[in-house]
Amino acid sequence: MHAQDTAIGFVGTGVMGASMAGHLLDAGADLHVTTRTQGKAQALIDRGATWHGTPGGVAEASTVVFTIVGFPPDVESVYLGDDGLLAHAKPDTYFVDMTTSSPALAKAIADRAAKHGCFALDAPVSGGDRGAREAKLSIMVGGDRAAFDRVRPLLDIMGANIVYQGPAGSGQHCKMCNQIAIASGMLGVCESLAYAERAGLDPRTVLESISAGAAGSWSLSHLAPRILDGDFEPGFFVKHFIKDMTIASESGDRMGLELPGLATALAMYEKLAGKGLGDKGTQALFELYDDQDLDDA
Tell me the catalytic residues.
175
Cα 80 to Cα 234: distance, rounded to the nearest angstrom:
29
Helix axes 260-272 and 170-198, enclosed angle (nearest 10): 70
* Residue 213: closest CA among 192, 195, 228: 192
The helix/strand/coil state of 84 is coil
Cα 40 to Cα 47: distance, rounded to the nearest angstrom:
13
Kind of pairing between the strands at 50-51 and 30-34: parallel
Residue type, 92: D
Q: Could you count the other beta carbons within 10 Å of the beta carbon of residue 255?
A: 9
The helix/strand/coil state of 225 is helix
Sign of the Cα pseudo-torsion (278, 283, 287, 289, in order):
positive
Start-to-end CA distance of the chain, whole Å, equals 48
Sign of the Cα pseudo-torsion (191, 192, 194, 199, in order):
positive
